[in-house]
Amino acid sequence: MSESIKQTRLDNGLTILTEQVPYVRSLSAGILVKTGSRYESSDEAGITHFLEHMLFKGTANRNSFKLANDIESRGGMINAGTSHEYTIYYVRGLDKELATVLEVLSDMIINPIFPADELEKEKKVVIEEIKMYNDSPDDFVYEQFISQIFDKHPLGRPILGYEETITEYSREKLYAYMSKFYSPNNMIVSVAGNVNHEEIVEIIKKQFGHLKAVADFPKTDEIPVFTKDRVVLRKEIEQTHLVIGRRALSSNSDDRFKFLLMNMILGVGFSSRLYQNIREKYGYCYSINTINQSFYDTGSFAVAAGTDEEYVDHLRELIFAEFKKMAETPVSFEELDSAKAKLNGMLLMGQESLNNRMNRMAKSEMYYGRYISLDEIEQNINKVTEDDIQSFCQDFLNPDFYSETVLLPSENE
């Protein structure tokens, strides 16, 4: 662990991580809860995300306005996010406001009251959020693709849930869900900035030290066997959207660095093969790129593009032609070296954001149980050879493992 990064674990299991960045006058503080949409039952679909919204609606000590104003009136901002595997509540603020920042975040999580009128209003808000994503063709088609490759597993459900489940939420359901997952031994407090570790530990002890650990947490469903599939959908849109993809690597896979470099070469940025050999060469699409996600035990990988309906078949052929090239011919030293520089550069530039530093500490602890330094990551990236990439691609880019989702414009009368 870097000298600037410190860790303390309270008696009740709460993990506190800090990174001191002395040359700034600000901080980024987050509380990560190790629960996301994959831990929901079918009748709870979307409850993790809905709960995230409702924690901003008031506590025993603050109404919703005061929660926001206590941060924003001091020059900061407060927000949250829900994923498949975790929920994080975070604040960007000035270093001198550390105590207030941590107290507000703690208050949200420990003392929510879920006012009845706010509960009903927020149901409408989230339903409108679902409609907004459904009106975005690239979001809609990718969500359908994820649903397809994970079948009926919770990973295949939208994080936002469904209108029919959201309308059934109650205060009792929210408290019951919190009691299962919002336990100190299932949380990580992460703070990066001009901060003092011991001061943060003392503040967090006062806020969370009285909470008791939960002995066992509900388990997620077993991942179903993958079945290759092709789904064609229609919507009132102008452009056709194509997603071709498969199940991918878990966050702990030994091959993850080969995968990340393959992804860089194939579909990240304007210099990638897909962009140069399809968009630039033929003009069949405005954008084409790869999307990858990694979870505890599985992952997803996809190529996504928007095109005209008449180009879909040719576009698919060109995508698989690029797969075949990577499997049959080793990448050049220069191309691999460029991909390594691009990946390392993205990681290093990410360090210029305190939010990224705070997030990286928390997620490193969550997924790996330790802090993984950029030096260690760079060493692993630089170990990968041209032969490693080709060998990985021969298996991973096999077309037999790829499903497809196509969203076409509605047919004319």
Active site residues: 52
- CB-count exposure of residue 162 (10 Å: 0-12, 13-18, 19+): middle
- CB-count exposure of residue 5 (10 Å: 0-12, 13-18, 19+): middle
The owner of tokens 């929210």 is 174
Q: Residues with Cβ < 8 Å from 309, sequence gap 6 or more? A: 240, 408, 409
**Which tokens belong to 132?**
């907004």
DSSP state of 218: P
Asked whether the beta carbons of 389 and 328 are under 8 A apart, the reply is: no
Cα–Cα distance, 397 to 320 (Å, whole number) = 8
- Report the phi/psi class of residue 46: left, alpha or beta, with left for phi > 0 and alpha for psi in -120 to 50: left
- CB-count exposure of residue 354 (10 Å: 0-12, 13-18, 19+): buried
The owner of tokens 């939420």 is 169
- Report the phi/psi class of residue 193: left, alpha or beta, with left for phi > 0 and alpha for psi in -120 to 50: left
Cα–Cα distance, 56 to 33 (Å, whole number) = 15
Asked whether the beta carbons of 102 and 31 are under 8 A apart, the reply is: no
Asked whether the beta carbons of 163 and 130 are under 8 A apart, the reply is: yes
Q: Could you give the count of Cα atoms lying within 13 Å of 194 in the half-sphere of its Cβ? A: 10
Q: How many residues does this entry show for the chain?
A: 413
Beta-bridged to residue 28, according to DSSP, are: 92, 192
